[in-house]
Amino acid sequence: MNGKTFEEFHPGERYSTGRRTITEHDILTFVNLVGLTEPLFLDMEYIRTESLYGERIAPGSLTFGMAEGLTVQTGLIHGTGMAFAGLDKMRLFGPVKVNDTIQVEIEVLDCKPVPARGGGIVRYRQWVKNQRGETIMEYDVARLIRGNESGVNGKE
């Protein structure tokens, strides 16, 4: 499946991703891979007795990474995404726990042509929601998206 070109994105458009259940294995693999080896994620006694939630939770960076993966899996930017251009206004509203299932809702905020780069910057607002429909994370992301040859150069 080919992704959408810069010219095919329009402010106000909305998309939803597939879903992904976060497992204990996902969390343990991630925290060890990136070095987030702190009691909050690894020490079950600490987690049960001293953490805010009393059970293992996913780091926010894992939730963000999984959300970005779900976004890519939509195919929206397959072959047209050229670069990650920025992240703004990230807010976390609650934890992702073992066996929570997340899904991402995406809205196109605005599009700015960058002809010198062969496309343009598309900004999206993304809401990560759990299986109960609760927003657990929200952020704005900007991506450089490849344009179609005629639209970027004004030769339509």
Q: What is the pTM of this model?
A: 0.91
Specify if 50 maps to a domain. Answer: yes
Task: Find the radius of gyration of the CA atoms of the chain.
Answer: 18
CATH of the domain at 56: 3.10.129.10
Residue 52 near residue 46 (C-beta atoms within 8 A)? no
Predicted local confidence at residue 128, as pLDDT: 98
Run of H or E including 19? strand 14-21
Q: Which domain holds residue 87?
A: 6-153
Mean pLDDT by 10 residues, the chain (156 residues): 91 98 98 96 96 96 98 96 97 97 98 96 98 98 90 44
User: Which pLDDT score, from 0 to 100, does residue 154 have?
Assistant: 43
Q: Is 79 within the bounds of a domain?
A: yes
For residue 1, tell me if it sits in a domain: no
Helices (H), the chain: 24-34, 39-42, 44-50, 60-73, 149-153
Amino acid identity of 128?
V
How much is the pLDDT for 149? 73
Q: How many domains are contained in the chain? A: 1
CA nearest neighbour of 124 among 63, 55, 72? 72
